[in-house]
Structure 1
Amino acid sequence: MMKVVIVDDEPKVRQGLQTLIPWESLGFTVAATAANGQEALVVIKEEVPEVVIVDIRMPVMDGLQLIQQLTSIGHRMQFIILSGYADFEYAQQAIKYGVTGYLLKPVDTREMSANLIRVRERIEQERAQRSHSQREAVNQELILRNLLVPQETQDAMGDPIKGINQIQEAGLLWNSYEVVVIHPLGSALDRALAKLSDGLKPLIEGRSKGAVAVISPYVVLLLNEPLRGSQRRASLYDEIMNADDGVRFAAATGGAVSAPELVAESYNKAQEAVRLSFFSEKGCLLGPSPHQHSTSESSHVYRDSAEEMEDLVFRLYYCLDVGNDAFILSLLQEAAAYFITQHQDEKAVKESFFFLSNAVIHKLNASARMDSKETEAVSRFLNGIFQQPYLGDLLEAIHRFLLAFAHKSEPGGKEQDFKKMIDFIHKHYADNLKLETLAGLLSYSTAYLGQLFKNRTGEYFNTYLDKVRIQRAKELLSQGMKVYEVAECVGYTNVNYFHSKFKKYEGRSPSEYKNH
């Protein structure tokens, strides 16, 4: 039986409808009644009826407001409107909300019964369509998995003719195929897979570009047209990023194939490319043949593993100790090339860099004991090595930390340089100051100087500069200068930008500050 809720502010109408309509013979049962829209919301939430019979004119919340609220929150139900007024304007509004029937009071029982029969047939038809769509979706997903991993269901598709028929019925018989594998990086894998899949289905299936499936730990796209050219690959990569903004991922294509039985080959190549993404370029859709060993093409003749590692530790330590910072990154790249020639996989490379970094840090700090903060920073850095998704990111992270750690361990000199930098900022805040400019003046790397500045002040360089400028701006505003004049005086060429910065740090606009 389908549930019905009757909503009318007149008790006689509610009672009459319950008594006079042959509900059971029509396939319905009256689950509840309500005197207004507000009461109906509570009842409908509890009963979840298929049909709501509702009066237009009611106190508290009228019928159209009730229908509007229910449809806006996604309730799927049929509405029959009752009205004591032959008001066509109401009928038009009701039709806009997808109302199935519109009856005038007093209600004719035969007309109401006829409306209920039409409503029941409509509900049954929609249920059948949804059931068919769900069966089609299940069928398509099964066939898609069969194409990607045929060894799992060889019996089901053992007959080639039967297999082709199944593929055609599932809507997957195309002229070409290309598999793209997407691997979310980091924790909360199940959540990331679900969000990526949900975000990509409208873009791929909704636009008839192919099909989407989740085969953990991947979201898999089966495309019906080859991704020819870098522009199409870049466009798809952007769509993947937009599907769940903030999720880090690696994605690769297995290349285009011309027949269903070759889909598994494209899938395997895509998986292999994703597995090797650590060694590849980040921020792009990888191809089926990533150049993961390009760094191993070196003329350097390597020695025994232990000797080579010991030599890398010594050379890194020596360069850091004497302040020869320019060679640090090239030495780290040489280490990466060596690890790759030893056929180390991602895990082994990270372990090697963990050992290398730890050994260098201990040599740099051999003559002094680290305090608890330094110990914590080193521990966090070393553990972070295993969280880096790409080799390039790993080398940059090690490079930054070793430079910062080495310069922090140096005796003398640095405190004076830091004071010079602070004095320079306070004297030249109105100029177009950049961190790299100061780094050049003081003969430091920009990365190291930025880290030193953050460690000493607790602020990033740009934040500190903004605060100096805003403090000076407050002084000038207190002297009666106009806002645009103050903006120019403290180094902001754009008044609107100055306005936003001032409000960010002071909680009110320059004009408000000046007036008070």
Structure 2
Amino acid sequence: MWKVLLVDDEIDIREGLTQLIDWEALGFTVAAKASNGKEALEALASQSLHLVIADISMPVMTGLELIKEMRARGLTQSVIILSAYNDFEYLKEALKYRVENYLLKPVDDDELTATLLQVKEDIRQDLAVSMQEKENLNILRSKILNRLVTRNISPSEFSNKADFLQIDLTAVSYRVILVELENVKDGFERTGEPAEHWKLFSAQNVCAEIMGGYADGIWFEDALQHLVFIAKQHVAGEPADYHAAADEIKAALKRFVKEPASVIIGPEVRGVREIHASYFEAMKLLDYKFYLGREATISERRIPSRAETIDVEIEGRIRELERFILAGDETSCLQVTHGIYDGFKEHAKIGKSLVHHATFEILMSALRLIREANGDVSQVLERPERLYEDILAHKTIDDMRGFLCGKLKAIMGYLAHLKNDRPPKVVMSVLDYMKRNYNKEISLKQAAETVFVNPGYLGKLFKKETGLSFHDYLNKIRIDKARELLLNTRHYVYQVSEMVGYKDYNYFHRTFKKWTGRAPSELK
């Protein structure tokens, strides 16, 4: 329904217009009434209205004065003028300020109906154009802001385009907040297709409404379908309570958009040129969601802090553990682990949070080795997304050490399995590549590129697993296919030669006889 404001100093006229036609049947509703132009301006300021029907002559503020003031304020509502006099000068003056029609009193219902129908169509078209323009502007703004946070735009280019796109980043400091919709993320990873735009649009509106109560800033959508908020702090001092805002956002998205979400709070930075640093750090923090769980609020504050006095020692021991894990040396790995925990026991001043963090870091390091070997973390952790919760569930340092040692043993066993199983998988992938491309000019180097290994290593591995060199096995595949074609089709021998990948007929003839003991023509 399009909302109408009736403005006339005579109450009988206002009520008469209300009853004159069936407004709802035409798609309108009389939402407000005023007795003069001043009251009309107050109504326009307090609610969303689409059409103003105003008398030309009223006390306090006339209809013409009302229209002039509306346009001066940038109000674009459609206007229909009413007058008891057919005055051309009034009409000429009114037309300067874009009015839809000039109707004489008493108003003819047919003329008013025809005008309203035309106004409705004009409003609809104007709204469609306005929405498209706004959508195009939002797309352009998102693209430029994406380039800003990924450091793909020069300061001068951003400054020029920000002015044009009405992007105001004037502030003392900045902070990037990421909102990741869990279902959108899962869907994108599963299908590779972006989410329906309406879902992200609805979620952004909810986020903007909540965050508006905490901080000023700009929302946009990044290339990975995260909702991104660049928070602006205008005065130095305590920042907004972004953790409270994150909790509100998650609850509202789950309730109103039916979307569970995680919120990642990047660090504070100074200067527009440093906004990308907050964004990149937020993206790094996002990795912790795998361990901290879905619907998490992640920030530097929520990641357990470490005691700097023994940071170097812990980091060094973790690197040592990595070497033993990769070498498959379980005894040394467990000795180092016990040594770390014995050290914790000797330093009673070390709080539980440091022990929790060290356990977490050791497991994250070991799990990274699985990912680097193209393994599946879920093979060693029943609930990977709740790793940190599982660590906290152990109430004593000895229980935690036992938990860690058990996981490290499982990780080492799984890595050994991957290592033993990898050569056959590599060779099987190469064999599949050869069977699909035997009729083309392919080489060992090309095959090695498909499995991301060195050609020399692949050549030795291939010979070890198949008993044949890459070149001989390719000839075997081609000759087997050629024999099949010669026996079951009417193709000439020279045609079969080309069909199986041999450009030189004489070489094909010699190779065929070498592998089968017969000339190709003998099979025809």
Tell me which interval the TM-score lies in, with the shorter structure as reference length.
0.3 to 0.5
Pair member with larger Rg:
2
How does the TM-score come out when normalised to structure 1? 0.39
How does the TM-score come out when normalised to structure 2? 0.39
